[in-house]
Every structure is written in C-alpha cells, then in structure tokens.
C-alpha cells in the first residue's frame, strides 16, 4: 500500500477510536493552506448516519487526532470541516521512505493482462498526425499500466491488408512490368531479389495509384484482382507484397523509434486474417449472419439504443471483407494466442461507431469469454491554428515526419550552444522536439480536440515539454555538483514551498490512479508541471548547495533527489526521454 493510502487507513482507524465508522476515506489536499494541509470532510456524512451534530463529531475526532504527534495545526472550520497538517518530522519521515524506494508511494493493482492496440500505421502510406496520438497515448498507457502492476502489451496492428496494397502493386507493375515478380515462368528465389523502390517512392505511389483508380475503371479492376492474388498468397504477387511490407515496415519502425514507442507484438491485419476461416466458423455457429442484397451483415442494434446502430457489414456484395471483419478476426486471434483480460483500442474517437459494432458482434459471436473487456479509448484531433485538423501548407494531411520536422526547426533554435557540443545539437534538438510534441499531446483530456502551436509548445517557458526537460536537467546538474556532499536524509523542512513540494510528492499515487482510470495522461502531465514549478520556485528562493546550515542543505539535496526521481519516473511513463544537456 502506498504511503498516502496507508495514512488514510490510519486516519480511518483514529476516527473509529472516536466512535465512528467510515466505509471509505480519502485524504483531501486542502485548497486553504492557511487552515491546514489536509481536510477531513466526513463529519457531515457521519452526522446523518449517527444522528449527531457534525461539529460535535468533529470535536471528538479532533481530540483523538490531538493525541497523535504526527499531526499538528488541528482545527475545525464551518459546520465541521477538520483541517490538519503533518508535523515536519513526520513529513520528513514519509519523504525519506519515498526517496529510498519510490514504490513505497505507488499502489499496485491486481494483476491483469491488457493488450493495447495503438499502432494502426498503414503499410505504404505515410504516418500522419492521427497515428501520433495513438502512439503517444497508447505507449504511455501501456507504461503506466505496467508500472501499476498490470501486464500490458502493445500491438502495432499494421494496416497491411486490402485494396491499398493491391493498388500499390498495380502501380509498381505499370512502372516496372518486367520485374521477375510478374513473370510466371520465374523459378528463382524472390527473397534474393532487390526492388528498385524506396519507402519514399512507396509513399508517393499510393496516393497516385489511388487517384488513378478513381478515373480508370480498368486500373481499379486490375488492382482488385491483384488484391485477391495477394490474399490467395499467389506466387510472385504475394512475394512482392511481402517485399513492399518489409520496406515500409522498416520505415514505420524507425518513426515509432523516434517517438520512443515500442510494440511487443508486430502483427498486421493480414496475419489476423489468417484466422478468417476460424472466424467464419464461429459466426456460422452463432447463426448471426444475414444476407442483404448480396452482402452479408450482422445485426448489432439493441433495444436500449438511443441512437441508430446500423448493422455491421461482414462481407461486401463483391465478396471482399470489410475493416470490421479484420477487427473481428483480430479479436479471435488475440483470444486464442494472447488471452488478454482486456483489450484497449487507442484509436481516433471518430471511429467509435466502428468499435461499438465490432464489440457487439464479437460478443454475439462469442469470440471472447463473457468476462472479457473490449474498450475503445478514443481521442480527439490535434488541430492547427485554424482549429481544423493539422494540414500542410498546401492543404494535404500533415505527414507525421513533416510535423516532427517543423517542431524540430523550432527546438533547434533553443538549444544552448555553450553547453551542447555542435555535433550533438541535432540529436538533442530532436529529443526536445519529441518531448514538446508528446507533452502537448498529453496536456488536454484525451477525448478533447486541441490546437497545437509549434512555437508555444517548443518554448522553454510555460507548460511545455522543453520546460520540464530543462528543469529536470538542472536538478541533475545540481545533484552532480553535490556529489561530494554526504546528504542522506531529509531532517529539516523550512519554508512553505518545501511543504508544497512535499504534499505534491505524497499525492503521487492518486494522480497515477486517476490517469489509469480515465485512460488519460492529462493528470500526470499537470502533476509534472506542478511539481516542477514548485521545485523551481524553491530553487530560486534558496541557494541550495551553498546553504551554510548543514542540516538544511542536506535536506534540500535529498529533496532535490526525490523530485528528480519522480520527474524521471513520470517522464518515462509518458515516453519522454531526457537529454543530458540542452
Ligand atoms: N489502420 C487504421 C487507420 O489508419 C487504424 C487501425 C486501428 N486499430 C484497429 N484495431 N482497428 O485508420
């Protein structure tokens, strides 16, 4: 149990000593620091339960609290609000415990296996800003879940199935008709062949082929046929598809790497569709497939629906499968191979209908056990200054790489040439740029749309990633300077700012819990800013290392160590790397 939860249990015990039983008790950080650090607001609730006057109840609780020298400044306000503060000695003791082992103030959850689907990059198409949000939020939720004791796994769920790949290969065939892949008499090993196409080419080929197919019926028909050939694993076409996937995948991996995002599972939709027959069998057994003008659908509406719930399209009238079907096959495959208790889909909120249909169909077809949870963790869009989804200068969808580039230009201007050697500047600027992007992405509640302003979020001042990095690096260099000083424990706390820091530190488990519960990192992002700002205020108010009173100096150094540890821990949860200098 965390330090703070432990304290809650003990206070609950004290209230019991006073003669009152509370079911649940949470320590509330007071917003009236002049009255006390914490509030106990339960006397009113107890009053109705015990039919007594709340102020009298409060008085009895206070007299119990007063026997305990861990608490000071105990008083009653208004109808029966109790204010308490922790004694300096006790506060110091708690902080020391936390400094020795940060996990002493983190609550572990009951073990559960959670699969998080937060990739969704599409092969042969450039990643765009929507994929950025999936990656940021998904990776951070995964890290948070693991920190809190779950077993969380990430699946990249690459979009490598269906027409887009058929189109890409049709265009390759148009350009290079004599490639061995298209020669039915070719007997050699395809794996040894090289392809005269780079990832940049692929990213240009897809939009071009897609446009062509809209104007040229024959071209589209060819692409359809090729798609079918790939799906039948036809020699040559299937091998070229594999090649295209591997070229694209390498580039996708690089981008995810830049974002400090790692997946445990790298399945693609095509791997999942290997379970299509098994899926068909389940669907058949459930008897839920309905013919509808040549297409096959599954009814998913329920009596309690308040808005229309259209049926799920299982196969289209031309026999091809839908996006929904790939997700159903995926659910079955995961149930068989991973057996997760919960699956979280960190995907654009605009796909909520899709997921609702898929989840309902999955339950109807009994693809997963009753007690399993499927959850769409939807997010809002990252918008440009005009309040519309981020666009390039010429109005196209902003590729993720261009966005990173844009932020990078800004952060590069702010790297300090006195401290960062010239040859490291580019790498440091990139790390800072990723931090700027990620932190801005975490600040608003997950489901809210927000405006990303490049200069604002790249700034070293304000609620930004660079501010947090800069401050954390400064803590580190202070600690490096203090290397020779034997500072081991916090034994003295003096000013109000130190108390603010201390109370914020103690509150850590509540913030982590809330973030996990809401599946949103905004709580952690705000907390990091709060803790860092308090620390910076304290840093400005005191000359830490040159403080003459040794006990105070040592306490301050240890406090710095603790803040530094918490910052690193939380930045790591957010998937933000801290450079050595900046
Ligand atoms: N590839 C899809 C896209 O770019 C996202 C896939 C999300 N995950 C899922 N299981 N459907 O829109």
Using the mean position of ligand 1's atoms as its centre, give its distance from the Cα of residue 480 in Å. Answer: 46
Query: What is the Å distance from ligand 1's center to 269 Cα?
Result: 9
Q: Looking at ligand 1, which atom is closest to the CA of residue 159?
A: 1
What does residue 394 show for φ and ψ, rounded to 5 degrees?
-90, 15
pLDDT at 395: 78
Cα distances (angstroms) measured from residue 261 to each of 18, 264, 394, 516: 52, 10, 29, 19
Q: How confident is the model at residue 129 (pLDDT cuts 50, 70, 90)?
A: confident
Per residue in 512-535, pLDDT (tens digit) is 999 999 999 999 999 999 999 999
The predicted structure's pLDDT at residue 409: 96
pLDDT recorded at residue 238: 96
* Mean pLDDT score of the chain: 95
For ligand 1, atom 4, name the residue with the nearest CA: 120
Per-residue pLDDT tens for 229-285?
999 999 999 999 999 999 999 999 999 999 999 999 999 999 999 999 999 999 999
| Beta-strand relationship, 151-155 and 113-117 | parallel
Residue % of the chain over a pLDDT of 70: 100
- What pLDDT shows up at residue 368? 98
Whether 412 and 426 have beta carbons less than 8 Å apart is answered as: yes
Instruction: Find the 157 Cα to ligand 1 centroid distance in Å.
Output: 7
Q: Is the pLDDT of residue 393 over 80?
A: no
The residue to mutate among 343, 351, 357, having the most atoms of ligand 1 within 8 angstroms of its beta carbon, is 351
Closest CA to 29 of 536, 506, 388: 506
Residues sharing a CB contact under 8 Å with residue 252, sequence separation 6 or more, in sequence order? 121, 123, 127, 156, 158
Whether the CB of 122 sits within 6 Å of ligand 1:
yes
Q: Please tell me whether residue 84 adopts helix, strand or coil conformation.
A: strand
Question: Which residue has the least CA distance to atom 6 on ligand 1?
Answer: 120
pLDDT given at position 386: 87
CA distance 419 to 544: 22
Which stretches within 88-216 are classed as H helix? 88-100, 129-147, 163-175, 199-215
Residues 413-441 pLDDT 10s: 999 999 999 999 999 999 999 999 999 99
Q: What is the mean pLDDT of residues 155-171?
A: 95
Please give the structure tokens belonging to residue 400. Answer: 């993720």
pTM assigned to the model: 0.95
Domain 113-128+141-159+264-383 has CATH 1.20.1290.10: no
134 CA closest ligand 1 atom index: 7
Higher pLDDT, 113 or 317: 113
User: With a 6 A CB cut-off, is 155 part of the ligand 1 pocket?
Assistant: no
Over range 487-507, report the average pLDDT. Answer: 94
Average pLDDT over residues 205-217: 96
pLDDT at 437: 97
How much distance in Å is there from the Cα of 121 to the middle of ligand 1? 7
- Is the Cβ atom of 555 under 6 angstroms away from ligand 1? no
> Percent of the chain beyond pLDDT 90?
90
Provide CATH 3.40.50.620 ranges for the chain: 113-128+141-159+264-383
pLDDT computed for residue 563 by the predictor: 98
Mutate to test the pocket of ligand 1, among 115, 116, 120 (most ligand atoms within 8 A of CB): 120
Q: Which of 270, 255, 406 is nearest to 333 (CA)?
A: 270
Residue 24 has a pLDDT of: 85
* Stretch 331-358: mean pLDDT: 98
The pLDDT assigned to 29 comes to 84
The pLDDT confidence band at residue 27, using thresholds 50, 70 and 90, is confident
* pLDDT tens profile 571-581: 999 999 999 99
State the pLDDT at residue 319.
Answer: 81
Cα separation of 99 and 490, whole Å? 9
Instruction: Provide the pLDDT confidence category of residue 28 given band limits of 50, 70 and 90.
Output: confident
Return the minimum-mean-pLDDT range out of 122-131, 292-301, 373-382: 122-131
For every residue of 237-278, which 3-state class applies, written as one string? HHHHHHHHHHHHHHHHHHHHHHCCCCCCECCEHHHHHHHHHH
Write out pLDDT tens, residues 280-309.
999 999 999 999 999 999 999 999 999 999
**Ligand 1 contacts CB of residue 120 (under 6 A):** yes
The average pLDDT across 445-449 equals: 97
CATH classification for the domain delimited by 3-86, as one of 3.40.190.10, 3.10.180.10, 3.30.1360.70, 3.40.50.970: 3.30.1360.70
In this predicted structure, what is the pLDDT of residue 460?
95
Q: 30 pLDDT exceeds 90?
A: no
Mean pLDDT of 38-57: 93
Q: Is the distance from the beta carbon of residue 138 to the nearest atom of ligand 1 less than 6 Å?
A: no
* Residue to substitute in 131, 154, 159 for testing ligand 1 pocket (most ligand atoms within 8 angstroms of CB): 159
HSE (side-chain half, CA atoms, 13 Å) at 143: 20
Q: Which two tokens stand for residue 207?
A: 């939009």
Residue minimizing CA distance to atom 10 of ligand 1 = 327
């Amino acid at each position: 149990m965390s330090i703070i939860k432990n304290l809650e249990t003990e206070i609950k015990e004290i209230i019991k000593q006073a003669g009152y039983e509370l079911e649940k008790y949470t320590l509330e950080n007071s917003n009236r620091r002049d009255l006390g650090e914490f509030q106990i607001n339960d006397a009113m609730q107890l009053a109705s339960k015990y039919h007594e006057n709340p102020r009298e109840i409060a008085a009895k609780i206070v007299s119990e609290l007063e026997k305990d020298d861990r608490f000071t400044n105990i008083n009653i306000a208004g109808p029966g609000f109790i204010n308490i503060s922790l004694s300096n000695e006790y506060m110091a003791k708690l902080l020391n415990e936390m400094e020795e082992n940060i996990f002493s103030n983190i609550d572990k959850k009951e073990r559960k296996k959670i699969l998080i689907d937060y990739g969704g990059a599409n092969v042969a198409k450039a990643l765009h800003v929507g994929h950025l949000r999936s990656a940021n939020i998904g990776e951070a939720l995964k890290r948070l879940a693991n920190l809190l004791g779950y077993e969380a796994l990430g699946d990249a769920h690459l979009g490598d199935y269906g027409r887009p790949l058929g189109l890409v290969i049709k265009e390759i065939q148009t350009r290079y008709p004599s490639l061995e892949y298209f020669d039915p008499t070719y007997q050699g090993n395809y794996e040894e062949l090289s392809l005269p196409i780079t990832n940049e080419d692929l990213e240009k080929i897809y939009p071009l082929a897609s446009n062509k197919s809209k104007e040229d019926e024959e071209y589209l028909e060819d692409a359809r046929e090729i798609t079918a050939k790939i799906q039948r694993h036809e020699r040559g076409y299937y091998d070229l598809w594999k090649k295209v996937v591997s070229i694209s995948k390498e580039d996708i991996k690089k981008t995810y790497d830049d974002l400090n995002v790692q997946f445990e599972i790298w399945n693609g939709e095509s791997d999942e569709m290997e379970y299509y027959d098994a899926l068909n069998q389940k669907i058949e057994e459930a008897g839920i497939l309905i013919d509808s003008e040549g297409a096959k659908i599954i009814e998913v509406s329920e009596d309690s629906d308040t808005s229309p719930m259209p049926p799920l399209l299982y196969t289209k009238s031309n026999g091809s499968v839908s996006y929904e079907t790939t997700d159903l096959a995926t659910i079955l495959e995961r149930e068989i191979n991973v057996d997760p208790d919960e699956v979280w889909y960190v995907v654009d909120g605009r796909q909520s209908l899709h997921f609702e249909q898929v989840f309902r169909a999955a339950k109807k077809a009994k693809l997963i056990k009753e007690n399993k949870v499927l959850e769409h963790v939807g997010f809002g869009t990252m918008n440009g200054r005009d309040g519309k989804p981020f666009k390039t200068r010429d109005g196209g969808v902003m590729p993720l790489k261009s966005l990173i580039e844009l932020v990078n230009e800004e952060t590069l201007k702010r790297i300090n040439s006195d401290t960062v050697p010239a040859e490291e500047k580019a790498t440091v600027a990139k790390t800072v740029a990723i931090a700027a992007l990620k932190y801005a992405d975490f600040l608003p509640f997950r489901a809210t749309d927000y405006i990303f302003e490049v200069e604002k979020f790249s700034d070293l001042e304000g609620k930004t990633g660079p501010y947090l990095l800069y401050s954390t690096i400064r803590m580190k260099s202070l600690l490096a300077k203090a290397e020779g000083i034997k500072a081991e424990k916090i034994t003295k706390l003096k000013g109000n700012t130190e108390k603010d820091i201390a109370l914020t530190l103690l509150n850590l488990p509540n913030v982590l819990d809330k973030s996990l519960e809401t599946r949103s990192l905004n709580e952690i992002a705000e907390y990091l800013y709060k803790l860092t700002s308090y620390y910076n205020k304290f840093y400005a108010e005191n000359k830490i290392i040159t403080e003459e009173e040794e006990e105070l100096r040592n306490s301050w150094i240890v406090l710095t160590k603790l803040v530094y540890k918490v910052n690193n821990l939380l930045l790591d949860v957010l998937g933000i790397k801290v450079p050595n200098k900046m």
